[in-house]
Structure 1
Amino acid sequence: MTGISTASFPMKGGDGAYSYANNSSYQREGLECAEDLIKESVAEKLDMKEFISSSSSPKLFTIADLGCSFGPNTLFVVENIIHSVELKYHSFGQNQEALEFLVLFSDRASNDFNTLFRSLPSDKKYFAAGVPGLFQDRLVPKASLNFVHCSYSLHWLSKIPMELMDRDSPAWNKGRIFYNHSPDEVSEAYSAQFAKDMEYFLNARAEELVCGGLMALVVPCIPDGISKLEFSDFKFLDLMEESLKDMVDVGLLTEDKVDSFNLPLYQPTPVELGALIERNRRFSIEKMQRIVRPARKGYGLQSLISMIRAIWEELIQDHFGTDIVDELFDRLKKKIAESNLSSLEMVADMYVLLRRKID
């Protein structure tokens, strides 16, 4: 085991107005755009001959969706993978009834698995199980997975870099909640933590995947050539930071409480992400390309704030308490309206297909 922090940053559970299940249309759109990429990946890269030649009968194909959360998105992805595998299996003249699927839905232990399992379709073509735990650690036995999927999750850090909390460190992030306006030492601490997390993640999957097994990732990145100050995703975080500081000014929060709060995510560039995978040496990059989304004008203000709240409310509440949540997001909503900021169009969602190398 890695000994990584077990701090929990779940999405907003349940099916309420601010739940992730009802406010993950941005992620769903990205997954729909990646749907054909997964189909092509299975059709072109999945080693079905090796799978068919194995001695097991019936044939069990095991899929893991890591960072599954609990909304309909994970079910959409799983059904697409299963359908793609069925088509390839059938193309080899195999009896479809001899093929069975096991799907492992995995996320942090605090994830709303109850909502997820209640939403499983009654006519599903697979056996289902929940696997709680951090995906930077081992989750299942060695060589037990045929296909791994992980989307919109790898940019979440396993923990906040310790240097950010040390008043004597050059990376102490006083007055900031993120790294986009901070000293270089802060950015470097975030980058180093992301690199550690990726190494743990890749090593764990290398143990769990069969040789030749595939892993499909969707990772939100900063486009190459775009500065942190220009990046639209970070501008929303600037407004959240401003909202927290305003609450300090009127006595609703203490300065120390805000100084000790840092957002646990890091978005690499595509070049940076590719370099970390190559450095690991346990996977080959079979495909790496930007997901092209349809043109859109942006989100309505309420839809946007509901999406942000679904992602960040649990984390905000854990650090600052429940009393300030409504006030904070009301202030953030007003700042977004005043800024006319309603788009995430500069985000580069990267589709990455990896194959487990033979040792």
Structure 2
Amino acid sequence: MAAAEETSKSSEAFPMKGGDGPNSYTKNSIYQRGAVDVAKQLLDKEIAEKLDIEISLPSNTFNIADLGCSVGPNTFSSVENILEAVQLKYQCQGLDSQIPEFQVFFNDHILNDFNMLFKSLPPNRQYYAAGVPGSFYGRIFPNNSIHLVHSSSSNHWLSRVPKEVVDKNCPAWNKGEIHYSNSTNEVVKAYEAQYAEDMECFLHARSREVVSGGLMVLIIPGRPNGTPHSKTLPNMMLQLLGTSLMEMARKGVVLEEKVDSFNIPMYYMSPQELEAAVEGNGCFSIEKIENLPSALADGASIETRVLGYHMRAAADALIKQQFGEEILDELFDLYCKKLEEKPSIFESGKGINFLAVLKRKPN
């Protein structure tokens, strides 16, 4: 099939807040970094045990792709962890002289701030760096070209808002809500269907790109098996953001119709849902699915204002496109107040990060 026909399906692009200002993703992603850090030991073990270093390496080059890399610095930490683990695998097998060169492909939407990403590349890195723009819900690499795929805190973003939820004539119209967590069954089903379609596309694309015996390592923000969507902590936080927007609509700061047509394309899957998608695809074996320990140290309090800034860094482009930039300060001041008023959601809400290690079956 021609490359043009294989390239990514139509996808909406809402990158993280670029630059290095106070509201940027660079300055507001410590929780995502925490997930990468707590996954390191597991990642080392899985690469040591599961990676086939006998796989053919054209030009003695090991190709790594980080999907949804954003602007750094978290992606650089992930890549460093992977490189160390792969090098250690070679050394432990007495193959020091055969350690390959490393090529790292940093992938994100075309609107991602790649200038910021490359400006902050580690100067002493042990790899060659390249940027690959495009949605990971379609093809972004040639056939059988990638040895290890990594993605962290990215797979909960859908390719688009389900079209049914913004259609006034559809039973799934999500009037007055910006997400599925507290909505009707029709809205929930529309989001579930969009997730299933997207994950099928994601796995199909990777099945063509990853070499036989290659690994895919995913760190996914999700919900524990059996937990209702409405009791999932990230969903409860998005619900409060929707409440903040509706409050501003009642005050006349934003139009209510604008809120009615605004939905956030995030879906928090359970490990069981991922397992079903992988089994349905059939090209990968599930080597490991494990909940990660909390990125917060024991006894550490959750700083609600920090979480508010994290939400702003993630949703900035979405909100700006729908409502304009001028509402952002007022909206997130209100949102942070609501988070502070409802500390109970951090105790009652269930949320996890889980690690999934998938291995490409022989072609």
The SS at the match of 2:130 is strand
Distance 1:259 1:349 in 2: 30
Do the aligned partners of 1:86 and 1:96 also contact (CA within 8 Å) in 2?
no
Give the 3-state SS of the residue equivalent to 1:146 in structure 2: strand
Residue pairs, 1:1-359, within 5 angstroms: 1=6, 4-51=9-56, 56-57=58-59, 59-96=60-97, 99-293=100-294, 294-340=297-343, 343=346, 346-359=350-363
Structure 1 residues 2 and 114 mapped into 2: Cα distance closer, same or farther (>3 Å)? closer
Where 1:63 maps in the other structure, the secondary structure is: strand
Which range moves more in the overlay, 7-16 or 291-300?
Answer: 291-300
Counterpart amino acid of residue 177 in structure 2:
R
Equivalent position amino acid for 1:315 in 2: L
Q: Unaligned regions of 5+ residues in structure 2, if any?
A: 1-5
SS of alignment partner, residue 61 of structure 2: strand
Provide the rounded CA distance (Å) in 2 between the counterparts of 1:132 and 1:341. Answer: 40
Tell me which moved more, 122-131 or 331-340.
331-340
- 1:194-228 per-residue CA deviation (whole Å, 9 max, x = no partner) reads 11110111011111111111000011111123222
Q: For the aligned residues, what is the CA RMSD?
A: 1.7
Structure 1 residue 87, shift from structure 2 partner: 1.1
1:104 Cα deviation from its structure 2 partner: 0.2
SS of residue paired to 1:50: coil
Deviation for aligned residue 1:276: 1.0
User: Deviations along 1:265-308, whole A, 9 cap, x unmatched?
Assistant: 10112111111111110100011110112434332233122111
Equivalent-residue separation in structure 1 for 2:35 and 2:235 (angstroms): 19
SS in 2 for 1:159: coil
Aligned residue for 2:205, secondary structure, equals: helix
Asked if structure 2 preserves the Cα contact closer than 8 Å seen for 1:221 and 1:268, the reply is yes
Q: 3-state DSSP class of the match of 1:104?
A: strand
Which blocks of at least 5 consecutive residues in structure 1 are unaligned? none
Structure 1 outlier segments of 4+, above 6 Å: none
Kindly indicate whether the alpha-carbon contact (under 8 Å) linking 1:286 and 1:355 is maintained by their aligned counterparts in 2: yes
Percent sequence identity is 45
2:361 partner amino acid: K
Distance 1:333 1:62, change over 3 A: same
- Count of aligned pairs: 355
* CA shift in 2, pair 1:302/1:348, >3 Å: closer
State the 1:34 CA deviation.
0.4
Looking at structure 1, the residues matched to 96 and 337 of structure 2 have their Cα atoms a distance apart, in angstroms, of 59
**2-side partners of 1:232 and 1:92: how far apart?**
43
TM-score, with structure 1 as normaliser: 0.95
Equivalent residue letter for 1:346: K
Range moving further from structure 2, 166-175 or 124-133: 166-175
- C-alpha displacement of 1:75: 0.4
Partner AA of 2:342 in structure 1: S
**Structure 2 letter corresponding to 1:295:** D
1-structure distance, mates of 2:7, 2:73: 31
Q: What whole-Å deviation, never above 9, does each CA across 1:49-107 have from its counterpart, x for those lacking one?
A: 334xx5x44x1100000001112110011011111111111233334475200000000
* Contact map agreement 2:222 2:268 (CA 8 A) in 1: yes
The answer to whether the 8 A contact 1:155-1:267 is kept is yes
Residue 183 to residue 2, structure 1, CA distance change in 2 (3 Å): farther
Q: 1:18 to 1:342 in 2, by over 3 A?
A: farther
CA distance in 2, matches of 1:341, 1:14: 34
TM-score by length of 2: 0.94
Tell me if structure 1 keeps the 8 A contact 2:233–2:345: no
Structure 1 position 120, deviation (Å): 1.1
